[in-house]
């Protein structure tokens, strides 16, 4: 009896010792994060905080391309090879349906303790067949940045419609050029052929009553008069109130023009707010943000953006990677990123945090814009969204660059979408 008891004690001691060794074992994980604006710096800062609290964990932060399409291409190289080299992926809000097979179910690692703190539509977006494949990290919606000093100078109001924006942009552009700034433009936005153009163009189309390319009930709706009018409107801006080189602009090139003081209005994401008010910015303290203008629908439309964190199914340390994800998406780090970088939290309580609102007054003022943003048709078209978006932004880009008229481009787009998806033709939902 004593012999059996002794054996049990020895085995128990060995298990305790082995768990201690496991706890102290050095673990190395890698996160593929964003690098737009100060994203990379903030991710490194958060990783350093995690390592200070977990001395047995080393976190590497992998720099990735700015453009979403390029980043997805890089991710697929690792994921399709089932590579363990990246443990945590920062994924776009449009990717969960397409990439779900490569990620673990975070509910198996304790996510149920955290999900109720976040915006539920984003949690639902990241849930594929009951599996939570990513945790919400920050949300986004397109905003209109405007020079409040120039609106005052020219006795203009913040535009509420696209027609008002065109008029104000032209007046300010003409005045500033006459004053000596020949590089000045009325309105700058993202016109390159990439995912960013899908976001901008969806805002024009949806705000004009032209639908969302493909409806949630899987009907192709893009070929309609309101959508065609909206795309034609934007094409007219190029070379008039927007630079001829707009067809090559992305978020960061647009932001740099804005911070140099060379535009009256800019369409961009919330991260530009903090950077625009940084030392060295020519427009520090001279601008504010507002909802994007309305078209014929009577309401503006802001495309839903945002990024989430997923753990690779091929990670050699999924428990540690998941714990790191919960740390990054928690209150402390989301607050840090909101106050230092104007990244919109996905945790509801942070929109009542005084320090967050002091750093970003527009978070409270434009709260409805963020929670009611227009979603791209990624859920309805999964796993083909990436190709749907490519067809859309290439069609729009062909109009902006003068290669094709809007009606013809949209007709061809409709046929291409039918071939790709097999969906029926429908009318935009009102």
Asked if the model's pLDDT at residue 10 lies above 70, the reply is no
Domains in the chain with CATH codes: 2-141+305-371 (3.40.190.10), 143-304+378-425 (3.40.190.10)
pLDDT for residue 36: 84
Provide mean pLDDT across the span 20-45: 83
Percentage of residues in the chain having pLDDT higher than 70? 94
pLDDT at 300: 95
Reported pTM:
0.87
DSSP 8-state class, residue 315: -
Distance CA 274, CA 338 (A): 9
Report pLDDT digits (tens) over 235-267.
999 999 999 999 999 999 999 999 999 999 999
Name beta bridge partners: 294. 161, 300
DSSP string, 172-215: HHHHHHHTT-TT-EEEE---SSSHHHHHHHHHHHHHTT---SB-
Q: Quote the pLDDT of residue 430.
A: 66
Cα of first residue to Cα of last residue in the chain, in angstroms, is 79
Does pLDDT of 5 surpass 70? no
Instruction: Give 183-219 pLDDT, tens digit per residue.
Output: 999 999 999 999 999 999 999 999 999 999 999 999 9
Average pLDDT, rounded, for the chain: 93
- Length reported for the chain: 430
Query: What share of the chain in percent tops pLDDT 90?
Result: 87
- pLDDT tens digits along 107-166: 999 999 999 999 998 999 999 999 999 999 999 999 999 999 999 999 999 999 999 999
Judge contact between 400 and 196, C-beta under 8 A: no
Q: How confident is the model at residue 2 (pLDDT cuts 50, 70, 90)?
A: very low
């Amino acid at each position: 009896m004593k012999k059996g008891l002794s054996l049990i004690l020895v085995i128990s001691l060995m298990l305790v010792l082995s768990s201690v060794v496991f706890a102290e074992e050095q673990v190395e994980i890698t996160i593929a994060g964003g690098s737009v604006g100060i994203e990379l710096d903030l991710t490194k800062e958060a990783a350093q905080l995690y390592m200070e609290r977990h001395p047995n964990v080393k976190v590497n932060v992998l720099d990735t391309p700015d453009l979403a399409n390029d980043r997805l291409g890089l991710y697929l190289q690792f994921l399709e090879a089932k590579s363990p080299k990246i443990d945590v992926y920062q994924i776009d809000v449009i990717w969960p349906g397409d990439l779900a097979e490569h990620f673990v179910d975070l509910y198996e690692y304790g996510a149920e303790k955290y999900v109720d703190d976040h915006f539920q539509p984003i949690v639902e977006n990241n849930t594929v067949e009951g599996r939570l494949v990513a945790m919400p990290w920050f949300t986004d919606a397109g905003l209109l940045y405007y020079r409040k000093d120039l609106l005052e100078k020219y006795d203009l109001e913040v535009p509420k419609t696209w027609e008002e924006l065109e008029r104000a942009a032209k007046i300010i552009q003409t005045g500033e050029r006459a004053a000596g700034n020949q590089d000045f433009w009325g309105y700058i936005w993202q016109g390159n052929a990439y995912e960013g153009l899908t976001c901008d163009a969806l805002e024009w189309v949806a705000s004009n009553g032209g639908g969302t390319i493909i409806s949630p009930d899987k009907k192709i709706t893009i070929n309609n008069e309101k959508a065609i009018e909206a795309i034609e409107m934007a094409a007219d801006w190029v070379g008039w109130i927007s630079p001829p080189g707009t067809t090559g602009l992305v978020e960061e090139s647009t932001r740099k023009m804005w911070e140099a003081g060379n535009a009256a209005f800019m369409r961009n994401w919330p991260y530009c707010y903090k950077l625009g008010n940084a030392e060295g910015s020519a427009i520090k303290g001279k601008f504010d943000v507002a909802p994007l203008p309305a078209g014929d629908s009577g309401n503006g439309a802001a495309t839903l953006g945002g990024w989430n964190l997923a753990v690779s199914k091929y990670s050699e340390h999924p428990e540690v990677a998941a714990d790191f994800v919960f740390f990054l998406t928690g209150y402390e780090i989301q607050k840090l990123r909101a106050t230092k970088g104007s990244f919109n939290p996905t945790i509801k309580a942070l929109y009542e945090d005084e320090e967050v609102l002091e750093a970003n007054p527009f978070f409270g003022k434009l709260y409805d814009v963020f929670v009611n943003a227009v979603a791209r048709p990624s859920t309805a078209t999964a796993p083909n969204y990436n190709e749907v978006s490519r067809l859309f932004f290439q069609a729009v880009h062909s109009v902006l660059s003068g290669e094709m008229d809007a009606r013809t481009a949209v007709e061809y787009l409709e046929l291409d979408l039918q071939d790709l998806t097999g969906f029926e033709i429908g009318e935009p939902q009102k």
